[in-house]
Amino acid sequence: EDQEEAVLRELRLFLRNVTERLTLDRRFKAFTKPVDIEEVPDYLMVIKKPMDLSTLLTNIDEHKYVTVGEFMSDTDLIWQNALEYNPDSDPMDRHIRHRACALKDTVRAIIKDELDEDFERVCEEIKESR
């Protein structure tokens, strides 16, 4: 009902704010847009579920996320994919893996600092009721 829509609206505002802050962080430039399949033709043979920060924003606007947990699953794809596709010891791979780990730690720190446990519990209740 209307109270539920108010909660989900607040969730979307929070998730947009987090995603925009990540997009503005220069460390995460490689994660802001989908990997260019023309530049990297084998990417989709290796990575089955591509994800990036611009797609997160689209998902938020399409009301894909009812809980922060669902959002976190997609942010996890971003850094997990980068670790999987860039495993080598060469400096380029090490560099993007370092940034992937920074993305993982940054998202978790923001959620731990800024997400109210009671708010996430209300979102989980709405999810279970649907």
Ligand X SMILES: COC(=O)N1C[C@@H]2C[C@@H]3O[C@]2(Cc2nccnc23)C1
Q: Where on the chain is the footprint of ligand X (CB under 6 A)?
A: 30-31, 35, 39-40, 82, 85-86, 96
Per the structure block, which two tokens stand in for 118?
Answer: 């009671």
User: Minimum distance between the CB of residue 64 and ligand X, rounded to whole angstroms?
Assistant: 21
Q: Which is nearer to ligand X, 9 or 98 (CB)?
A: 98
Please state, in angstroms and rounded to a whole number, the distance separating the CA atoms of residues 120 and 88.
38
User: Minimum distance between the CB of residue 109 and ligand X, rounded to whole angstroms?
Assistant: 21
User: Minimum distance between the CB of residue 127 and ligand X, rounded to whole angstroms?
Assistant: 29
Q: Which is nearer to ligand X, 57 or 126 (CB)?
A: 57
Q: Which residue is nearest to ligand X (CB)?
A: 39
CA atoms within 13 A on the CB side of 90: 4
Closest CA to 29 of 85, 91, 102: 102
Q: Which is nearer to ligand X, 35 or 122 (CB)?
A: 35
Residues 53, 24: contact at Cβ < 8 Å? no
Please state, in angstroms and rounded to a whole number, the distance separating the CA atoms of residues 76 and 99.
13
Q: Which is nearer to ligand X, 22 or 66 (CB)?
A: 22
Amino acid at the residue 15: L
User: Minimum distance between the CB of residue 59 and ligand X, rounded to whole angstroms?
Assistant: 17
